[in-house]
Amino acid sequence: MQPSPIDTVITGGQVVGEDGTVAADILIRDGRIAGLVAPGLAPPADRVIDARGKHVLPGVIDVHVHFREPGMTHKEDWGTGSQAAAVGGVTTVFEMPNTNPPTDTAENFALKHDLAASKSIVDFGLYGLLGAHNVEHLEPLAAAGVIGYKLFMGNTTGDLPCPNDGTILEGFEILARLGKRCSIHAENSPILFRREHAMQAAGRTDPMAHLAARTDVVAVEALNRAATLAEWTGARIHIVHESCARSLDYIRFWKARGVDITVETLPQYLYLDAEMMLEPGGEVIRMNPPIREKAHQEPLWAGLFDGSIDMVSTDHAPHAAEEKRGADIWKVACGFPGVETSLPLMLTAVNAGRLTLEDVVRLMAGAPARAFGLFGSKGVIRVGADADLAIVDMGKSAVLSAATLHSRGKSSPYEGMTVTGLPVATLVRGKTVAKDGQPVAEPGWGKMVRQAMPAPAPRHTETTLAAITVPHQRPFAGTL
C-alpha cells in the first residue's frame, strides 16, 4: 500500500531541538512528522506553512495548569484555558484535580475527561488526587487513565484536606506499584496554618504576611519529607512550583541518592519578587508557594542548568479579577494565569542571553515529556512524533496585559511588560490551533495523551500497609 501523501510542509524554518538547531523543512502526514529534509527539498503538499525567519520548536508541555472545570467556570473553563494555552505555544497541558468535584474517583475523572475532550483545543492529561480520603480510588484512577497524581501537602485553592503522613506513605506505596508520577505541592500545612492564624490574631493583613506564613522552612521541610517517603517506597515524584533557593541542595542530594524526583519552577519565581507585593495592586502576585525575596531568583535560574530543576511549567491558576484584589491579603485568591505568557517570558530570557532556545526546548518540552512518559510521541521534533509545534518569531515584541489574555482570569503581574519572542503559530497533531495571537481551532480538537512510563520499581514491599494487614506468622526477612 502506498503511504498517504504529505499533507503539510513547514518550509524555511530553523528547527530547534535540545541538542541543536538546523535549517530544515518539516513534512507532516496525518498529524505526525513524516520527515525532516534540507531546506527546499520538501515535496509539494496541500498546505505550505512559510516559516522563513522563524524558529520551530516542539510545542510546550505544561505539566501544571488549573482549568477550573468542573465547578469553578467563572475563573476558567476548558475552552478558555486551552485557547490561552494554544496562543502561548502550549500544545499539551496536564490539569490539576482541585476542581469541584475534585478528580478523586474514576467517576469524577470521567466527568472531567468528557468536558476536556469536548472543549479543549490542545492535548491534555488529567491528574488524579492523592487526597486524605481516597486511597482506595488510586488504583481505579490509574485504570481510568490519569497522567499522574497530585498531592497537596500544603493548603491552597480548593481547601482540599491535606493527607497526614500515614496516608501519604500508604498512597506512595500504592503509586510505587502503579509506576505513575505524583506531583507534589510541597508545603507543610500545620506550620503555615499556625503562623497564618497567629498573624491574623495579631491583626496582620499586609501582603508580606503571606510570605511570612509560608517562610522557606515550610517548603524545605515538606520537600524532604516527600522525598524520604518516595525513597522508601520507590514512588516517583515531581515537585511542583519550586520557589525556594534553599531547596536546591536537598534536591541534588535526593537525586544523587537515586530517588526518581523531578522538579519544576515557574517563570514568576524567576522574574518576580516579594517586594512587588508592596506596589499598588501588588497583591495580584499572591500565590502558593509565595513569590519570595529577590535573593531566590539567581539560584533558581542556576538550577535550570545544574540539574536540580528539570523543567519550567506555569501553575496557570486563574481567578475572577475581583477575587484577586483587596487590602486584606488573606482574602485575595492565590494564583494567577500563566499558560499564555510562559513561552514569551522564556523567549525574552533567550533574547537577553540568559539561556538558549535549546534550553527552552529541554525545559518546556523534552523534560516534561520524559518525566511523564510521553517522550517520542511528544516533546521532540522527529519522524513519528506528533506534529505538535510552536512556530516562534524571536524578533517580535508585545506588551503583556491582563485585558488581552485569552484566559478568563483577567489579572496579571506582568501588566505593561514588554516581551520579545512570540509564538506566531501553534500546531497540535498537524492542525493549526492558534495563529498570530488568536485561537483558530474548533473546540474538541484536543485529545487525552497516551503515556508509557517505565516499569514500576516499588521498594520495601514487605512492610507496606497492604502487606502488614494480612496475618503474618514470621518476622520479615528484611534487608537493608
Q: Which residues bind Zn ion (CB under 5 A)?
A: 185
Q: Name residue 347's amino acid.
A: L
Q: What is the DSSP letter of 367?
A: H
Whichever of 309 and 355 has its CB closer to ligand NCD, that residue is 309
Nearest distance from residue 266's CB to ligand NCD, in Å?
9
CB of 182 to ligand NCD, least distance (A): 14
Q: Please tell me the distance from the alpha carbon of residue 324 to that of residue 305, in angstroms, as a whole number.
A: 34
**Closest CB 95 distance from ligand NCD, rounded Å:** 11
Rounded CA separation 194/177 (Å): 35
What's the chain's Rg over C-alpha atoms?
Answer: 22
Nearer to Zn ion, 137 or 185 (CB): 185
Identity of the residue numbered 313: S
Q: Which of 4, 6, 18 is nearest to 355 (CA)?
A: 18
Q: How far is the CB of 320 from ligand NCD (least distance, A)?
A: 12
In the list ligand NCD, Zn ion, none, the entry touching 87 (Cβ below 5 to 8 angstroms by class) is: none
The residues of the shown chain that bind ligand NCD, judged by CB under 6 A, are 66, 98, 156-157, 185, 287-288, 315, 317, 334-335
Indicate which of ligand NCD, Zn ion, none lies near residue 236 (CB less than 5 to 8 Å, by partner kind). Answer: none
Q: How far is the CB of 416 from Zn ion (least distance, A)?
A: 27
Determine the residue type at 431. Answer: K
CB of 163 to ligand NCD, least distance (A): 15
Grid coordinates of 475: 518476622
**Are 219 and 248 within 8 A, CB to CB?**
no
Span between the terminal Cα atoms of the chain, in Å: 58
Alpha-carbon distance of 143 to 237, in angstroms, equals 19
Q: Of 332 and 357, which has the nearer Cβ to ligand NCD?
A: 332
Provide, rounded to whole angstroms, the least separation between the CB of residue 183 and Zn ion: 9
User: Among Zn ion, ligand NCD, none, what binds residue 317 when CB lies within 5 to 8 Å by partner kind?
Assistant: ligand NCD
Q: Which of ligand NCD, Zn ion, none has residue 377 at its interface (CB below 5 to 8 Å by kind)?
A: none
Rounded CA-CA distance 112/125 in Å is 11
Instruction: Give the neighbor-by-neighbor strand order of the sheet with 32-37.
Output: 32-37, 25-29, 8-11, 47-50
User: From the list ligand NCD, Zn ion, none, which binds 287 (C-beta under 5 to 8 Å, kind-based)?
Assistant: ligand NCD
Choice between 233 and 407, CB closer to ligand NCD: 407
Cα 285 to Cα 333: distance, rounded to the nearest angstrom = 10
In this complex, which beta carbon is closest to ligand NCD, that of residue 315 or of residue 388? 315
66 binds, among ligand NCD, Zn ion, none (CB under 5 to 8 A by kind): ligand NCD
- The nearest distance, CB 311 to ligand NCD, in angstroms, is 15
Q: By C-beta, is 27 or 192 nearer to ligand NCD?
A: 192
φ and ψ at residue 49, rounded to 5 degrees: -105, 120
Report CA-CA distances (Å) from 26 to 23, 38, 59, 383, 432: 10, 9, 14, 9, 14
Q: Each residue of 263-291: b (16+ CB within 10 Å) or e? A: bbbbbbbbbbbbebbeeeebbbbbbbbbb
| Choice between 313 and 426, CB closer to ligand NCD | 313
Question: In whole angstroms, how close is the CB of 157 to ligand NCD at the nearest point?
Answer: 3
396 interface partner picked from ligand NCD, Zn ion, none, CB below 5 to 8 A per type: none
Could you say which of ligand NCD, Zn ion, none residue 335 binds, taking C-beta under 5 to 8 angstroms by partner kind? ligand NCD
Identify which of residues 411 and 426 has a Cβ nearer to ligand NCD in the complex. Answer: 411
How crowded is residue 202: how many other Cβ atoms within 10 Å of its Cβ?
8
Of Zn ion, ligand NCD, none, which one sits near residue 355, judging by CB under 5 to 8 A according to partner kind? none
Q: How many residues does the chain have?
A: 480
Judged by DSSP in three states, 199 sits in helix
